[in-house]
Amino acid sequence: MAVTESAINRIKEMIVSGELRPGDRLPKEADLADRLGLSRNSLREAVSALSLVNVLDVRQGDGTYVTSLEPKLLLETLSFIVDFHRDDTVLHFFEVRRILDPAAASMAAVHMTSDDTAELATILAELNDHASVESLVANDLRFHQRIAEGSGNPVLASLLDTLSAPTTRARIWRGLTQQGAVERTRDQHTAIYQAIAARQPEVARAWATVHIADVENWLRTVP
């Protein structure tokens, strides 16, 4: 096996086995390279790769550290991967979101505290009638993020967060604005919120399904 590839697995193994724990600092490049029996250059290729997927955090002048390894952080790299997919697979990603989002809404209706739901209401209220596309996108993002977090499952929340890439979201909202469908979308958001606040998981699930399916149908009409 290639030296660099082997180094990646060696470091991975050190972390998985518990020898290196989240937040730990790695030996300095020269030492680690020596210990793994390769050159510093090759080691750096391995570190660079692990850094891209947020497993390692290298700080110039300081050292290299293991990240917190939280699902949120590691699944962020998923968005990097999603970026490579062209329009024809965007619908497939969206379809998965259509499965997960209603489930998250349902779980949120059970798990969210009243403080949490109050925050949801605040997000809804922040939107005025003449918001720009950018603020619509940002608001939409926060609304769905809040609900996803409210599910109590960080993996689910992170997946949902990255599944619908910002670029897609922007395209959607631009389209919604153009055809004057912003109002309907806002109504659907409100309905989802009300169901969650009323602790009605099935209603929340239904509204979330309606909402996502609505957007998905619009996406299908605009290739």
Which position among 31, 95, 126, 183 is part of the footprint of a second copy (CB under 8 A)? 95
First to last CA, the chain: 44
- Least separation in angstroms between residue 101's CB and DNA is 38
Binding range to a second copy, per CB under 8 A, among 74-82, 118-126, 197-205, 212-220: 74-82
Q: How many residues bind DNA (CB under 7 A)?
A: 23
**What one-letter code names the amino acid at 30?**
A
Binding range to DNA, per CB under 7 A, among 14-22, 58-66, 110-118, 129-137: 58-66
Q: Which of residues 154-213 bind a second copy (CB under 8 A)?
A: 154-156, 159
Which position among 4, 64, 139, 209 is part of the footprint of a second copy (CB under 8 A)? 4
User: For a second copy, which is the closer residue by CB, 69 or 141?
Assistant: 69
Q: Which of residues 24-43 bind DNA (CB under 7 A)?
A: 26, 28-30, 37-42
Q: Are 215 and 172 in contact (CB under 8 A)?
A: yes
Return the closest-CA partner of residue 32 out of 40, 20, 24: 40
> Any bridge partners for residue 134, and if so which?
none
What does 81-127 look like in DSSP terms, one character per residue? HHTT--HHHHHHHHHHHHHHHHHHHHHHHHH--HHHHHHHHHHHHT-
From the list a second copy, DNA, none, pick the one residue 99 interacts with, judged by a Cβ distance below 5 to 8 Å according to partner type: a second copy
Q: Tell whether residue 4 is a contact of DNA (CB under 7 A).
A: yes
- Least separation in angstroms between residue 18's CB and a second copy is 9
CB atoms within 10 A of CB 88: 8
Note the residue count of the chain: 223
Q: Tell whether residue 96 is a contact of a second copy (CB under 8 A).
A: yes
Q: Tell the burial category of 218 from Cβ atoms under 10 Å away from its Cβ (0-12, 13-18, 19+).
A: middle
User: For a second copy, which is the closer residue by CB, 95 or 187?
Assistant: 95
At how many degrees (to 10) do helices 154-163 and 71-82 cross? Answer: 20
Site of interaction with a second copy (CB under 8 A): 4, 8, 12, 15-16, 41, 44-46, 48-53, 55, 69, 71, 74-75, 77-78, 80-81, 83-85, 89, 92-93, 95-96, 99-100, 103, 153-156, 159
